[in-house]
Amino acid sequence: MSVTTARAAAAPRPMTREEKRVIFASSLGTVFEWYDFYLYGSLAAIIGAQFFSAYPPATRDIFALLAFAAGFLVRPFGALVFGRLGDMVGRKYTFLITILIMGLSTFLVGILPSAAAIGILAPVILIALRLLQGLALGGEYGGAATYVAEHAPHGRRGFYTSWIQTTATLGLFLSLIVILVTRTLTGEEAFRDWGWRVPFLVSVLLLGISVWIRLQLSESPTFKRMKEEGTTSKAPLSEAFGHWGNMKVVLIALFGLVAGQGVVWYTGQFYALFFLQSILKVDGYTSNLLIAWSLVFGTLFFVFFGWLSDKIGRKPIILAGCLIAAASYFPLFNLITTYANPPLERAVQNVRVTVVADPGNCGSLFNPVGTRVYTQPCDVARDFLAKTGVKYGTAPGAPDSPVELKVNEQTVPFGPDFSKNAITALQDAGYPKAGANSEVVKMAHPFDIFRPQVAAVIGLLFILVLFVTMVYGPIAAALVELFPARIRYTSMSLPYHIGNGWFGGLLPATSFAMVAATGDIYFGLWYPIVIALMTFVIGLLFVPETKDRNIDHWH
């Protein structure tokens, strides 16, 4: 794959009115797609109760999370389907199709009868709609990024495409805000009963606006020229992945850029939220507001790092973000614990908790998709401790000896009242009582951000978001520039959605599984650290700098 360089291109010029419209229309539509996609994740517990009501509560949650994961898992297949379409038919029409699929699927979730009304059909239809959402999202990003980049003047592609990079964060932020407002207006009981449907139904209005705006756009100039000259690809999939020259670049893009970007992004937004709620036991209202404020303060840095990548290159910013994040995660998450839940930090440092059991009766707790049910006392005890946010170790017991929990010098035998007795022992030793400790960070209202404790937690979360903006701001421009125009949509979409949908999307569940398996509340951070360091090394060795490439070259 030959590449033309355009170092002598004209100096960067201001945006034209048409270019502003292209960025606005592409970004707005993509914001709404992410809004639709993340609504489900934010409301997974309520949705589980509505559509999987035939099962026990724990099983409901598992099925609801699996349906959420399904949307991530099919994203690469959406990239293949719609990437092929985008390289053959055009960028504009393809991402019109993706937004229609996403918007209608989301609206249908809002009117779908619950399992109490139509039985097994309810969860079956829900999962089908979730799969359609994932497929649509798989096709949306590559189209929007390619379309904007192909409109951008030389020397400003990083800046132009960085607006697309704000959309996932803005979509998450918008979904959180709509849910919080609806919850406040309806009340918690009504929200659980019917109010949860409102954010899904609102999406049809957003869909109408997005489609109307996108219909006003014309095809990208690069694709128009290819169409006129008859140089569009007739078989994008085989060209992109059947020839080693391009397939090698796909693999370099995946492992040398996107895998690290994906884990840094999901650690800074989703695992941070999970860590606050599930491990530090910060209430859901406060946790969501803390993340929302960190996004408010951090979002414009996507554009800053996109702009900066036009000056100094894509590669140094993305790889620096991966390296700094990997080096900082342990101290940052320790500090989040210090400020968000001081009693828990003291307990983790001062209380020795040990599960004593016959090693032969202890299995693996690695459970990234949350489907396993533990029956061995050793596994039940360790799983309980992990979900309670307790740091613990294990010690070998005599063969076939009963399982015991040692909390400092106190021993709790495993039995029918194990959970109750273990909580009592842990609280006596210093672990905080859930929901009843005034030292745990808590926000009284959305603008309660000036108290030192709240401000400190938001500041730490902002640093995590800053890492996200470093790796994510320039990534669209980098991916667009790596591939020739005739197979660009297909080639860039697949590594992006494997890196983000698989490496990133499965991160929260995988990291918690690592916490449960080891008893260390910080051990899950090794997952993003190792992947980010892998990307840094591979990217340093194999990823070329692309900011000066002429992306109109398609041979």
> pLDDT digit string (tens) for 303-329?
999 999 999 999 999 999 999 999 999
Q: What is the CA radius of gyration of the chain?
A: 24
Q: Is the pLDDT of residue 533 over 90?
A: yes
Q: Which two tokens stand for residue 138?
A: 């798989």
27 pLDDT more than 60: yes
In the prediction, which pLDDT does 426 show?
92
More confident residue, 169 or 465: 465
- Residue 7 domain-assigned? no
| Distance (Å, whole) CA 28 – CA 492 | 21
Does 372 have pLDDT greater than 80?
Answer: no
Among residues 177, 205, 224, the one where a domain terminates is: 224
Which residue, chain included where needed, has tokens 């398996």? 517
Task: Give pLDDT, residue 468.
Answer: 96
Any domain includes 255:
no
237 belongs to a structural domain? no
Q: Report in angstroms the alpha-carbon separations of 12 from 157, 222, 547.
A: 10, 19, 13
- Reference 504, options 168, 61, 213; nearest CA is 168
Give the distance from CA 328 to its chain's centroid.
19
Looking at the fold, whether 219 and 350 belong to one and the same domain comes out as no
Question: DSSP letter at 486?
Answer: G
Residues 6 or more apart in contact with residue 99 via CB below 8 angstroms: 29, 32, 33, 136, 140, 207, 210, 211, 214
Instruction: With beta carbons less than 8 A apart as the criterion, state whether 33 and 98 touch.
Output: yes
Of the listed ranges 20-24, 252-256, 465-469, the one predicted with least confidence:
20-24
Read off the pLDDT band of 3 (50, 70, 90).
very low
pLDDT exceeds cutoff 50 at 10 = no
Q: Which residue has the higher pLDDT, 486 or 455?
A: 455
Give the residue among 170, 142, 145 at the shortest CA–CA distance from 160: 145
Mean pLDDT in residue range 346-356? 92
- Residue 11: pLDDT over 60: no
Domain that holds residue 171: 18-224
Q: Are strands 393-396 and 353-357 parallel, antiparallel or unpaired?
A: parallel
Same domain? For 207 and 62 the reply is yes
Spatial separation of the C-alpha atoms in residues 30 and 145, rounded to whole Å: 10
pLDDT average, residue stretch 251-273:
93
In a domain? residue 195? yes
Which of 429, 457, 491 is the endpoint of a domain? 429
- pLDDT, residue 232, reads 82
> Shortest CA distance to 512 belongs to which of 287, 321, 270, 339?
270
pLDDT digits (tens, 9 = 90+) for 226-246: 888 888 888 888 888 888 988
The CATH number linked to 415 is 3.40.30
In this structure, the answer to whether residues 159 and 22 fall within a common structural domain is yes
Which tokens go with 207? 């869909």
What total of structural domains would you count in the chain?
2
**Least-confidence region, from 32-36, 76-80, 275-279, 503-507:** 32-36
Please tell me the predicted confidence (pLDDT) of residue 152.
85
Distances (CA, A) of 427 to 190, 223, 339, 344, 515: 34, 65, 20, 10, 21
Residue 363 lies in a domain: yes
> Is the distance from CB of 37 to CB of 176 less than 8 angstroms?
no
CA pair distance 517, 318, nearest whole angstrom: 31
Instruction: Tell whether 218 and 367 lie within a shared domain.
Output: no
Is 377 contained in some domain? Answer: yes
CA 245/CA 239 separation, integer angstroms? 10
DSSP state at residue 433: P
d(CA 384, CA 515): 12
**Structural domain contains residue 358:** yes
217 shares a domain with 357? no
- pLDDT for 458 equals 97
Question: By percentage, how much of the chain surpasses pLDDT 70?
Answer: 92
CB-based contact 79:497 (threshold 8 Å): yes
- Tell me what percent of the residues of the chain surpass a pLDDT of 90: 36
Would you state the pLDDT for residue 510?
A: 83
Does the pLDDT at position 9 exceed 60? no
**Is position 203 within any domain?**
yes
Considering 408, 429, 450, which residue would you say is the last residue of a domain?
429
User: Confidence class of residue 437 from pLDDT cuts 50, 70 and 90?
Assistant: low
The answer on pLDDT for 521 being more than 60 is: yes
Specify the range with the lowest mean pLDDT, choosing from 51-60, 273-282, 433-442, 465-474: 51-60
When the pLDDT of each residue in the chain is averaged and rounded to a whole number, the result is: 86
One domain, residues 36 and 185: yes
Task: Give me the half-sphere count of Cα atoms (radius 13 Å) on the Cβ side of residue 272.
Answer: 34
Neighbours of 5 (CB within 10 A): 11
Identify whether residues 211 and 76 lie together within a single domain: yes
Q: What is the CATH number of the domain that holds 38?
A: 1.20.1250.20
Nearest to 478 by CA among 310, 269, 298: 310
pLDDT at 453 over 90: yes
pLDDT band at 508 (very low <50, low <70, confident <90, very high): confident
Check residue 15 and give its pLDDT: 66
User: What confidence score (pLDDT) does residue 255 get?
Assistant: 97
Q: Can you give the pTM of this predicted structure?
A: 0.86
pLDDT at 363: 84
- Sheet holding 393-396: strands in order across? 393-396, 353-357, 404-407, 410-413
pLDDT of residue 60: 65
* pLDDT in the model for residue 408: 92
The pLDDT assigned to 29 comes to 74
Give the tens place of pLDDT for each residue, 134-167. Answer: 888 888 878 888 888 888 888 889 999 999 888 8
Q: Rounded distance, CA 51 to CA 53, Å? A: 6
Q: Which helix (H) or strand (E) holds 393?
A: strand 393-396
pLDDT for 6 equals 42
- How would residue 116 be classed by pLDDT, with cut points 50, 70 and 90? confident
- Kindly tell me the number of DSSP H helices and DSSP E strands found in the chain: 26, 4
Q: Classify each residue of 328-362 as buried b or exposed e, where b means 16 or more C-beta atoms within 10 Å of its C-beta.
A: ebeebbebbbebbbbbbbebbeebebbbbbbeebb
